[in-house]
């Protein structure tokens, strides 16, 4: 039987472990394996770049079988999005270096094991959009546009993060004018807040995934203002945005 040797690699303050099987000792084992994922678009990355060999990626969830993807690639990344559609499952990948020559065909290849990855808990949420906004009298109305994911409904339309997270998704609207700031949260994509009549406001939105302990907040949307000219001078605008960010 094969007695694997345990190795470890430190990368970006995370300690990743992998096992090396006995076999072709001339092939280096992949290191610095990371999952790069935003809005469920997920790329597996590793090092080093291959020279006289290639890589094959094997991936499996706790509730799914092993599948091969990016077979015999000379790249050091692999788009595994299509293999992670069971978004609440927890996945592991093997990065397998291989020689293409027939003489090496029967060698036991070494391989590296990735950290575990659960898309629902770990994918980063991208920047939401502002679909429409309107300032009338003393009301500011804002409609948020959800980021889309790569996953589709049976009718081929793309699922949004709202379709996936449902009530686990909450938006926060941050707004300000002159020397005052405010924020309000909503489980829906619509905001309607009372504002001072005749005053202009600037605002942005940010999503929060309520069940998460890490990576809870999305990227911030672009800042919008309720008229064509800059409401605030640039220095004050930056101060206000920083002040709101620090208060989160």
- Give me the tens of pLDDT residue by residue for the chain, a chain 248 residues long: 333 333 333 333 333 333 333 344 578 899 999 999 999 999 999 999 999 899 999 999 998 899 999 999 999 999 999 999 999 999 999 999 998 775 555 556 789 999 999 999 999 999 999 999 999 888 999 999 999 999 999 999 999 999 999 999 999 999 998 778 999 999 999 999 999 888 889 999 999 999 999 999 999 999 999 874 444 444 344 445 455 555 55
Query: What pLDDT shows up at residue 227?
Result: 76
Q: Which pTM value belongs to this model?
A: 0.79
Query: What pLDDT shows up at residue 234?
Result: 42
Query: What pLDDT shows up at residue 178?
Result: 78
Query: What pLDDT shows up at residue 66?
Result: 95
Residue with tokens 């997270």: 165
At residue 120, the 3 state secondary structure works out as helix
DSSP class of residue 117 equals: B
Q: In angstroms, rounded to a whole number, what is the distance separating the alpha carbons of residues 47 and 245?
A: 35
Query: What pLDDT shows up at residue 137?
Result: 82
């Amino acid at each position: 039987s094969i007695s694997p040797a345990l190795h470890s690699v430190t990368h970006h303050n995370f300690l990743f472990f992998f096992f090396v099987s006995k076999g072709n000792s001339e092939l280096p084992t992949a290191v610095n394996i990371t999952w790069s994922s935003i809005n469920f678009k997920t790329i597996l990355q590793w090092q080093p770049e291959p020279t006289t060999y290639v890589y094959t990626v094997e991936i499996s969830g706790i509730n799914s079988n092993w599948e091969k993807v990016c077979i015999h690639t000379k790249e050091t990344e692999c788009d595994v999005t299509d293999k992670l559609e069971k978004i609440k499952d927890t996945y592991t990948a093997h990065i397998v270096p291989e020689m293409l020559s027939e003489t090496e065909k029967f060698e036991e290849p070494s391989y590296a094991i990735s950290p575990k990855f659960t898309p629902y808990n770990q994918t980063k949420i991208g920047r939401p959009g502002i679909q429409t906004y309107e300032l009338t009298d003393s009301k500011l109305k804002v409609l948020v546009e959800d980021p889309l994911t790569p996953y589709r409904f049976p009718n081929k339309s793309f699922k949004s993060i709202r379709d996936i997270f449902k009530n686990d998704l909450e938006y926060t609207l941050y707004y300000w004018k002159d020397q005052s700031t405010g924020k309000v949260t909503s489980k829906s994509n619509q905001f309607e807040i009372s504002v001072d009549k005749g005053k202009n406001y600037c605002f942005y939105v940010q999503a929060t995934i309520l069940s998460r302990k890490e990576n809870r907040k999305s990227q911030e949307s672009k800042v919008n203002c309720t008229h064509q000219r800059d409401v605030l001078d640039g220095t004050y605008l930056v101060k206000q945005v920083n002040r709101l960010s620090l208060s989160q």
